[in-house]
Each structure stands twice: as structure tokens, then as C-alpha cells.
Amino acid sequence: MSSVANWDAEFNRQPHSNAASGPSNGRESALLDDQDDVFMPDINLNAGQPKPPEEEEPLPEQTPLEQLTRHWMNERHAPDILPAQDVLLSSLLDHIRRQSETIQLLRGDPSTSEEEHIRIMLAQTEVERVKFIVRSYVRTRLFKIENYARYIIANEDVQSRITMAERDYASRHAHLLDQHFHVSVLRSLPESQAGLDDIPNFIMPPMVTEPDTTRAVFAHARKSTTVKTPEGAVIDLAKGSLTLLSFSAVADLIADGTVELV
């Protein structure tokens, strides 16, 4: 029984080649010893086979709150409006609602102890912190939508990054701005100069405000990657590195989570 009990230990202790040889291990070892002077070339069984692709480095795991914080910081630092995170936002808002209801029930329960009241207060503080991040994230997106309303409604690529509610808000805001400009200024100008979509032939700001995607941003690499700048240069970003680059160079990496803005 002792030899059976120690089977695993013995298997791990012995070389795999010896274990696989079975009972004839001693005899085969002797034969191998007798043939030590025979040259045996190494045979590469994988010769001519393609090398297996290197495994892609995974992104670090994040909780829903950490994900929202990352998207919030990206939105605040990016000059352009980023893809909406409506699914993540909806799930967090539902969680906040349930947490708030639970807190109110526990506060109104006379059997709640003083120690539990302290825990309730800490939970309420955390809920308020999440609410602040949500409000700031939404306000940042609304600020960009108001600034670039006419640009958004004329650009299908940007419209694909925002929600239906944000698209309707941008359309209404652009319509109100058009009416305001027409009543205030444009109706007093010649017809040839009364359009908001005119492209000036001289050095002047464009009639439609667009985000400056050439603006520099601080990009923090969440995993090792490469970036191609608008000038054609290729830059290697090591995991954890912080680099000053133009937003247009890292826009796609921000969208897929490889890079975050700080």
C-alpha cells in the first residue's frame, strides 16, 4: 500500500522518459549506456512547420465602476466625442437605484444597529461618488454635443458613436442655433454670404465648429502596442508607459481599450 500511496510522488520524482519505459526501464538504461559512443543526431520533428502565433497580451480585468471611470477620463481628455457606453451606464444606474432603495429601507428599520448605520453611511458615500462620475460623464458628452452639434448631424461616423437620444438632442440644438444665427445676423447679409456651410476662401475659422483631432493627449498604454503617427512614424508603447501623442494617432486604440487618456 505504501508504494501505491507514493505513486504520484515517485512519478513526479522520476524523469518522464524513465516512467514511460515501464518495467523494462533497467534493461533499456543498460542498453543506452552501452551505446553512449554512438552519435545520435537531434531530429527536429517540427522542421518546416509554421511557428505558432504568439498569444496576444490580454487587457487587465476591470470592474464596471473602473470601466466607467476609464471612459469618463477618456471623454474628458479627448477633443472628439467617443463611442457611447450606454449599456455600461444603464447597468450601473440600475445598480445605483437598487443600492439606494436598500439603503433607505435599512435606514428606516428600527432594528438596525449603530454599527450597521455606519456601514450604511459608507455605502451611501460610495453611491454618491458613483453618481458624481455618472453626472460628470454625461455632462462632458453633452458639452461636446452642444459645441459640435452641426458637425455631428452632418457626419455619419460621429452619429454612429452616440445614442439615439444624443442624436436627437444634437439635431434640436443645431436647429435652434440655425434659427438664432438667421434671426440675429444671417438675414441681414447678402444671400451669397448667408449660409452656415460655406467654406471660406481665406484664413478664417470654419463656419461649422469641428473637434481638433490633432491636439496632443497623454496616452497611457494598458498593454504593449504600436502607434503610427500622422507623419508616418511608428512608435512602440510598452505596457504602463505614458506618451504624449496626437489624438488622431491613438483614437482607435482608445476605442478598443488598449490605451487610456490621463
Predicted model pTM: 0.72
* Over residues 170-174, mean pLDDT: 93
Calpha distance 118→112 (Å, rounded): 10
The 10 Å Cβ neighbour count of residue 76 is 14
In a domain, 243, yes or no: yes
Whether residue 69 contacts residue 133, with contact meaning beta carbons closer than 8 Å, is answered with: yes
Q: Which three cell numbers stand for residue 96?
A: 445605483
Which H/E stretch holds residue 254? helix 247-255
Rounded Cα distance, 29 and 86, in Å: 68
Domains held by the chain: number: 1
Query: Sheet containing 216-221: which strands, arranged edge to edge?
Result: 242-246, 216-221, 259-261
Closest CA to 58 of 257, 241, 219: 257
Q: Is the pLDDT of residue 3 over 50?
A: no
222: domain CATH number? 3.40.5.60
Residue 158, pLDDT score: 94
Residue in this structure with the C-alpha cell 478664417, named with its chain if needed = 204
Domain assignment present for residue 150? The answer is no
The C-alpha cell at 24 is 523494462
Mean pLDDT, residues 99-104 taken together:
92
Say if 14 falls within a structural domain: no
Residue at 247 is within a domain: yes
In a domain, 241, yes or no: yes
Residue 187 contacts residue 179 (beta carbons within 8 Å): no
Residue 196 lies in a domain: no
pLDDT at residue 163 greater than cutoff 70: yes
Asked, for residue 233, whether it belongs to a domain, the answer is yes
The mean pLDDT of 149-171, rounded to a whole number, is: 94
Residue 45 resides in a domain: no
- Expressed as residue numbers, the domain containing 234 is 212-262
How does pLDDT run across 17-63, given as a tens digit for each residue?
444 444 444 444 444 444 444 444 444 445 455 544 456 678 888 99
